[in-house]
Structure 1
Amino acid sequence: MAEMTALETMMEMGFSRNRAEKALALSGHQGIEKAMDWLIEHEDDPNLDEPYVASQGDVLGSTEKSEIGAAEMTFEENSNQIRQDPALCEEEKKEQLRR
């Protein structure tokens, strides 16, 4: 018998697909217990039952950048973002990487 995914398990427990997807994604896909904790903390959110929409560039299953905050972006993420920005000339990229 195939093992159920966390999403399937939460839906089997009676949570709607929207709530389960949102809780899993916004708790960083750290398991059902963390997702349920997130749901308890956000049970009064007016948009709780709205479908989960990842921020542009985010992937379902990765930590939500808006919740982490730009200040906590890792050096590697920051470096990758700078390298991929076509608007920056090479000197600007080097300067930003030095920071």
Structure 2
Amino acid sequence: MIMDMGFSRNVAEKAVFMVQGAGVERAFEWIENNRSAPDFEEPLMIVGQDSGPKKESVFAGMTKEEKAAKIKEMQTMAREKRMKEEEANRIENERNRARMDKELAAAKRIADDQELVRAMELRKAEKQEQ
């Protein structure tokens, strides 16, 4: 049970609801990904909904030590997943930065070339006037 992991009843209910009862592991991932939300500890308000069938807890029949080990394992998995996502985002951001640098350099080259052409045309026009 998520509350056995030290989370409030509000958080536990919201996490299970948000993952549509997909299991404790998915609920824990949701919790890890949404901890910074301003309404994280707010109670879940559902209007006109029946509670669905209950799934057996991953922790059913486990000792406190086994629960603690499972919680630690789930936290490690969530942390690793988050780190992989952050690394993928960092790589994508670096690619975007490199692409933008190339585009900016190309635009600067074009602007410089156009300025050079204008300067040459201006000199040519001045020579023709003399």
When normalised by structure 1's length, the TM-score is 0.48
Give the number of the structure whose alpha-carbon radius of gyration is greater.
2
When normalised by structure 2's length, the TM-score is 0.37
